[in-house]
Amino acid sequence: MKEETPYNLLIQEADKIGQNEENLNEIEADLNSSATDRSSFNHSFYEFLHYIQGSSSPQQCRTQIRNVLRAHCMRNPMIGYVQGLNLIVTFLLCFLDEENAFHLLTHLIENILPPHFYSKVEKGVCFYGYQAESYVIKKILQEQLNLKKKEDISAMEDFIDVVLPSLLMPLLVDTLNVSCLFTIWDKMIKAGDFVVLEKSLLTILSTHKSLLIDRDLLAGRRYQEIFCKEVTNEFMQIKAKPTTATMEQIVKLRKEFELSFADELEKRSQKSAQVLTQAKRFSKFEIEVLYSEYQSLVKSRGGKKTSVSREDFKVLLGPITSHQKGGALIKLLKVFDLFDVGKDGVIGHR
């Protein structure tokens, strides 16, 4: 158990750091973009917030959310701010005051959620725990929906990759109607086990097989409206067929992911050594040129640290590869591909 620091001291600590800390800046950006204002939530949540917040101004509500999130960042610096936590805190503040909302958020993260769920550093990747649960959900859905065709399995996995972050990272907040969300959360907190929410999500997803294997790219945009309107307490208790997934199966799949991840990490390490060894070594002058080019890129984008796309990478390397054979650029692009962990053509500035 971590040493308990009083809530007010955590707020004071955040105030001393000020707005120069990246996590605190991200909190401000999300709050100022109205991401937690009631107008941004689904219609059920909007009505509930309208009732709870009453005459409170958006700014007053944002202040409470800001304080809880800042205190969390001070207590859990290895996690910091993660998009989705803002929605969770908004939900908690519907029932609790600031300090108790902070304590319940802490209890969720440290005692109920799977290990490293929001961690940005565990095993050298972001959200290792979330990735493990994504693996579990895909495997169980494939079995329960009896997906045999490669195209159906691929479609389901694509749907999960696109949609699951907005479902699981905020723990279904702003996905379901409030009464159903409250029921699931109530059971999860009383049981002290994330599996309650995970099995509820599996039940919901497995009931919408046609949506999961729809190759239409618009399908991923329709799910929120469908879930919010259709998934009620009555649906969960009477109409939906509960998932047959067991705790033993979930634990086994988590272990399977851990082993496959370790194997992939070892292969990646070997590949890293090979690629980096074969890649061009930069002189001090070339490093200075490369740094200067990156600073110019940052300046052109408002002076903030920026992610680098594959095309950006080519431009950055231009001044130091223009006089060399094409093979040099190809080798360096292999380095880019190596560190493009998400395989989305972008390397984050972290």
N- to C-terminal Cα separation, the chain? 29
Closest to 188 (Cα-Cα) out of 91, 63, 263: 91
Helix, strand, coil percentages, rounded to 5, for the chain: 70, 0, 30
Please, is 157 exposed, middle or buried when counting C-beta atoms within 10 Å of its C-beta (0-12, 13-18, 19+)?
Answer: middle
pLDDT grade for 4, boundaries at 50, 70 and 90: confident
* Contacts (Cβ under 8 Å, ≥6 apart) of 75: 2, 5, 10, 106
Separation of alpha carbons 291 and 296, rounded Å:
9
62 and 36 Cβ atoms separated by less than 8 Å: yes
Least confident of 123-127, 206-210, 220-224, 302-306: 302-306
Per residue in 44-65, pLDDT (tens digit) is: 999 999 999 999 999 999 999 9
Distance CA 347, CA 339 (A): 7
**Model confidence over 247-283: pLDDT tens digits?**
999 999 999 999 988 877 666 545 444 444 444 445 5
Mean pLDDT for 145-166 is 92
- pLDDT, greater one: 92 or 240: 92
What's residue 288's pLDDT?
62
CB contact set of 276 (below 8 Å; sequence gap of 6+)? 335, 338
The more confident residue out of 329 and 56 is: 56
Q: How confident is the model at residue 114 (pLDDT cuts 50, 70, 90)?
A: very high
Percent of the chain beyond pLDDT 90? 55
CA 175, 137, 85, 342 dihedral sign is negative
β-pair partners for 145: none
User: How much is the pLDDT for 324?
Assistant: 54
Among 61-65, 123-127, 163-167, 306-310, whose mean pLDDT is lowest? Answer: 306-310
